[in-house]
Structure 1
Amino acid sequence: MDHRSLSRLAAPAVAALLALTTGCTGGTVHGRPGASGLRDPYFPKAGNGGYQVEHYGLDLDYDPADGRLEGTAVITARAGQGLSSFNLDLSGLKVEEVTVQGEPARFNRTGNELTVRPAEDLEKGEAFRTEIEYSGRPKALTDADGTREGWITTGDGAVGVGEPVGSMTWFPGNHHPSDKAAYDITITVPKGYEAVSNGELRARTAQADGSTSFAWHSPEPMASYLATAAVGKYRVETGRTPSGVALYNAVDPGEAEASAGDLARLPEMVEWGAGRFGPYPFGTAGAIVLPAGTLQYALETQTKPVFPGAPGSEELVLHELAHQWFGNSVSPKSWKDMWLNEGFATYAEWLWAEDRGGTTAQQEFDAFLSGDTEVDEAADSDWDAFPPAAPPGPEHISGNPVYYRGAMVLHRIRQEAGDEKFFALLRDWAAEHRHGNASTADFTAFAEERTGHDLKKVWDVWLYGKARPR
């Protein structure tokens, strides 16, 4: 991120999984309700307990003319305990019907919680399929820091963005980054519109009524906050990087000219990132450029970052691309671990400039210590206001210390360990946790083990220390 500016969708693998464990054995299973939140330190009601999602199949029909969304969500999950009921996160929208394992299920709504009671208890370890029919006019949410997320309308369409919890405004799910899943998202829109989502475009199908359905497939695990659906009259350009990664850019026509130069660097950036951080973690890359002013920030939505108008700098494009390794492939275990996303992506900006003969990472580091805004205009910001691993509240998880002081933590490791061990650490970290989740504690232990250095002073002063580091 950057705040500085089954109905017909089930994959064959999911069907095979369900064939192995469907229904109950006929005996009485004494399950218990799954938790209605995961007690995240900043968003305690986000996510739900008792199960892990393995696949989302979303079938969406959206008409920009009246803002109405018709949706079917087919969620394939595995029970982590015997379940008499379980919860899904959903904000607004009307739920019309719910089935579990093909049988009607009772359900009720309380705030943003959809509680589902299957006809029969689910066994621990059981793979189960839940289908939710829902509709309505999805709305945006306002976050603690005053920014908007969720379902955002544009002049000619809409976009779904979800960091940290906004995805629940357009589909029901287990909306916490610790529960990642594969996705198939089909979006049907009126004639003349494009519908863009994560991953690979599997099919573009004209319907009898003149509408068009776009079927997108994301086989790699994805946290729900990284899912997106963008509807508008975009200009689409496709291509490949030199190593063969497919590219798909969807750009608002009014932003096309101003975006062209920055997006032209994307193939080079993908190849550079693979050299620095290890193989690009997904099958596709690209960008979605929204009409100017749609959002207050860019967001690293998986495989296709969303930009609030023309990016304006190649550094912003690079930042969101770097998140594909750090944040998207290696996702945080909780929102307290946000610096593992933003500090790494900011440091990637510094490395990009350094590798091209520009300002070095050492010069950036020194500039922040001295407040030299000629090197970096953010050098006199409140980058030292709090420790990056311990933001004081949810409104601070995208604060400057998470970005800049987070990047400075990485540079301190580089200073202590030397370039060879440091860059090996970055590659090993991305490889070890590829398509998984990791916490700050995981990283600090990993960094010490891989570099062979005692980094306690770095953690105590830079990562967790409350005083301004020196």
Structure 2
Amino acid sequence: MKKLLLASSLLLTFSISAQEFTRKDSLQGGFSFERISYDVQRYDLNIAINIEERSITGYNDITFKIVENTSKIQVDLFENMQVDSIVFEGKKLNYKREFGAVFLDFGKPLTKNFSDKKIRFYYSGKPLVAKNAPWDGGFVFNKDVNGKPWIGVAVQGTGASLWYPVKDSQSDEPDFGASIKVAVQNGLMNVSNGRFLGSEDLKNGYTRWDWEVKSPINTYNITVNIGDYVHIHDNLDGLDLDYYVLRNNEEKAKKHFEEVKPMMNCFQSKFGKYPFAQDGYKLVETSYLGMEHQSAVAYGNKYRKGYAGRDMTGTGIGILFDYITIHESGHEWFGNSITSKDIADMWIHEGFTTYSESVFVECLYGAEKAQEYLNGQKRSVQNDHPIIGQYLVNKEGSTDMYYKGAQLLNTLRHIVNDDEKWWKMILKYSETYRHKIIDTKTVVDYFNTETGKDLTAIFNQYLNYTNIPILEYKIEKNKIDYRWKTDVTDFKMPAVLKVGSKEIRLDATNDWQSYKVKAKKEEEISFENKRFFIKLSKN
């Protein structure tokens, strides 16, 4: 993402962490010239996974074009993985390694627009094993109830270069997709992203399973799922719905995944057509809880409603649907289709996707239930650190990017105060930035334009500060004084005054203002704080 976020004429300021960052952090999260000088067009991954050794051998063909004259580029691969050789135009390239960065030297200048060339990057090694996926990155080696191997991988935040050579930055997705060919021991299947192209018995105890993605794809979304899977196929108005589940769970899955169709109908009505129709939609059963792997969504909620069988909102609504199915599928629109350039802006993924949960609730159960669900999520907001992380060092912000991000969007909806307009804006947002890489500035500029309001200070307060807006007020006879207390200056946001059954929208700012009210009792006077994520402070 960007270092500076200019929206309208105001500069969004960032909370500066005292944390020290290293050269290693900058190489992983930054935009070195050796990274930005080339654009990835396609990945073609061809590997074998030895389950007993927990090792990988193979190569990745990286097709690229040069966008700035250079003789060197940066490709990433974790330090514990071995670079075997890198071949370009039939010759091995020289390279240097610095932490997880591999700097390739072509030995000659490559000029701008030099395209449709590829390197073949041979590698091997034992990738890191996750201790608690998906919250930490790595491979997951497990066994199913029949004792058969059951393998997966989740690397969001940690980095795709944990297990394959790649430009490990959300700023660049392969324009023409990827192929993922994975050889595993006979009797097991590998399921990866996109469409299944076929399998081949390699006559050495391994079978290779071939998959292809034609859409651009986040590198952390490229995945492998190895197990004794059975395939369930369904269809929704021409969209392929495929489920790969453990053999013992076939009948259970057929019933449980009936939820997918109403979800898909809801999301397509609000966010536009499923963004990866050419690659199909899949749920793949995993031993870890879940992950938004594009067109191969990892599902590990064990066919339960709620989040691991629990209602995280305390409202009773969160147990009406399978959180993992809904949330991780929502990422197909927000995170996979619309992607943040820098991991510091991951709220663009998680805030919108968490909000999509309430959208699903609204589609099925109505607006009041959706608002109740959102209010239940407020209790999970920590207000511990800013939502936006540190740029250029692979540093996410607070986990408040989930629930506080959703609250920000719900607050914006009620600032707009016109549901027809709001849903048109959300649909247009999803379609405008479909398959695009954006940053926070882009989001702020979009909502400023579409609402016709300068919302910059509002975004700034919620994203870059731990405090939420405090509406201070005092009541004296037939007059109420009110103002917003915020970290940012020039903060303007409506305050909804309730006098009995009547609502009055006041244009509140950081300055004290007064409004004359007529009420028989002071108890009849209050401010709305259910539809807005704010605090009330009566003086």
Judge same fold: TM > 0.5, yes or no. Answer: yes
2:160 is the alignment partner of 1:161: no
**1:467 Cα offset (Å):** 1.4
Q: Please give the alpha-carbon distance, in whole angstroms, between the structure 2 residues aligned to 1:103 and 1:349.
A: 51
Instruction: Return the match for 2:281 from 281, 285, 301.
Output: 285
Contact preservation (8 Å) 2:342, 2:392: no
Does the C-alpha gap of structure 1 residues 287 and 269 become closer, same or farther in structure 2, counting only changes over 3 Å?
same
Aligned mates of 2:380, 2:142 — CA distance in 1: 32
Distance 2:422 2:222 in 1: 31
Q: What residue identity is the alignment partner of 1:132?
A: F
Distance, in Å, in 1 between the alignment partners of 2:140 and 2:30 is 24
Q: Quick check: 1:217 aligned with 2:212?
A: yes
1:15 maps to which residue? none
Alignment partner for residue 99 of structure 2, among 111, 118, 125? Answer: 111
Change in Cα spacing, 1:349 to 1:146, as seen in structure 2 (3 Å) is closer
Q: Taking every aligned residue pair, what percent have the same amino acid on both sides?
A: 22
User: 2:383 is matched with which residue?
Assistant: 384
- TM-superposed CA distance for 1:353, in Å, is 0.9
Aligned counterpart, 2:526: none
1:413 aligns with 2:412: yes
Residues 192/348 of structure 1: CA separation in 2 closer, same or farther (3 Å cut):
same
How big is the shift at 1:141? 6.0
**Paired residue type of 1:452:** G
User: Is structure 2 residue 154 aligned with structure 1 residue 173?
Assistant: no
Match of 2:352 in 1: 344
Query: In the alignment, is the contact (CA less than 8 A) between 2:388 and 2:396 conserved in 1?
Result: no
**Alpha-carbon spacing, 1:395–1:382, altered in 2? closer, same or farther (3 Å):** farther
- From 124, 128, 134, the counterpart of 1:139: 128
Where does residue 43 of structure 1 map in the other structure?
29
SS of structure 2 residue aligned to 1:208: coil
Residue of structure 2 aligned with 1:150, choices 138, 154, 159: 138
The SS at the match of 2:427 is helix
Closer, same or farther: CA 390–90 of 1 in aligned 2, 3 Å: closer
Partner Cα distance (1:174, 1:252) in 2: 33
| 1:334 corresponds to | 342
Contact 2:26 2:393 in 1 (8 A): no
Question: 3-state DSSP class of the match of 1:265?
Answer: helix
1:457 positional shift: 4.8
User: Which region of structure 1 is more displaced relative to structure 2, 131-140 or 183-192?
Assistant: 131-140
> In structure 2, the residue corresponding to 1:231 is in which secondary structure?
strand
In structure 1, the residue matched to 2:201 is: 206
Return the offset for 1:90: 0.4
Q: Distance in 2 between matches of 1:60 and 1:312?
A: 34
CA distance in structure 2 between the aligned counterparts of 1:317 and 1:304, rounded to whole angstroms: 12
SS in 1 for 2:408: helix
- Larger of the two Rg values belongs to structure: 2
Amino acid at match of 2:455: L
Superposed displacement of residue 395, structure 1: 10
User: Which residue in the other structure is 1:402 paired with?
Assistant: 401
Instruction: Give a deviation string over 1:413-442, Cα, whole Å, max 9, x none.
Output: 111222112111111111111111111110
TM normalised by structure 2 equals: 0.71
Which amino acid in structure 1 is aligned with residue 172 of structure 2? D
Does residue 1:315 correspond to 2:307, yes or no? no
Give yes or no for contact 1:150–1:167 (8 Å, CA) kept in 2.
no
Residue 370 of structure 2: aligned partner = 361
Are 2:217 and 1:229 equivalent residues in the alignment?
no
184, 191, 196: which is aligned to 1:189? 184
Return closer, same or farther for 1:353/1:195 CA change in 2, 3 Å cut-off.
Answer: same
- The equivalent of 2:468 in structure 1 is 468
The CA distance in 2 between the partners of 1:88 and 1:392, in whole Å, is 20
Q: Give the aligned length.
A: 418
Give, in whole Å, the separation in 2 of the partners of 1:158 and 1:102: 35
Larger deviation, residues 449-458 vs 97-106:
449-458
User: 1:345 Cα shift?
Assistant: 0.9
Q: In the aligned structure 1, how far is the partner of 2:445 from the partner of 2:26? A: 24
Match of residue 44 from structure 2: 57
Write the distance in 2 (CA, Å) between the matches of 1:196 and 1:396: 30
The answer to whether the Cα contact below 8 Å between 1:416 and 1:453 also exists between their aligned partners in 2 is no
Q: How far apart are the structure 2 equivalents of 1:193 and 1:301?
A: 20
1:88 and 1:173 in contact (8 A); partners too: yes
* Mapped contact 2:344–2:394 kept (Cα < 8 A): no
Say what the alpha-carbon RMSD is for the aligned residues.
2.9
CA distance in 1, matches of 2:137, 2:397: 14
Shift of 1:148: 2.2
Per the alignment, residue 129 of structure 1 pairs with 118
Tell me: CA distance 1:396–1:409, structure 2 relative to 1, closer, same or farther (3 Å).
farther
CA distance in 1, matches of 2:220, 2:91: 29
Q: Deviations over 1:180-199 (max 9, x none)?
A: 01111111112110101111
CA displacement at 1:380 relative to structure 2: 2.4
- 1:244 pairs with 227, 235, 238, which one? 238
Deviations 1:250-291 (A, max 9, x none): 223466566554422113322221111001100211112113
Normalised to the residue count of structure 1, the TM-score between the two structures is 0.81
| Counterpart Cα distance in 2 of 1:289 and 1:205 | 23
2:54 to 67, 92, 96: 67
Q: Compared with structure 1, are the counterparts of its residues 268 and 381 closer, same or farther at alpha carbon in structure 2 (3 Å cutoff)?
A: closer
What is the CA-CA distance between 1:336 and the residue it aligns to? 1.6
How far is the alpha carbon of 1:122 from its aligned partner?
1.6
The 2-side partners of 1:387 and 1:361 are apart by 26
Mapped to 2, the partners of 1:420 and 1:383 lie a distance apart of 32
Give the match's secondary structure for 1:388: coil
CA distance in 2, matches of 1:398, 1:205: 44
For residues 189-232 of structure 1, the C-alpha deviation after alignment (integer angstroms, 9 at most, x for no partner) is: 12110101111112223333353221111111011011111112
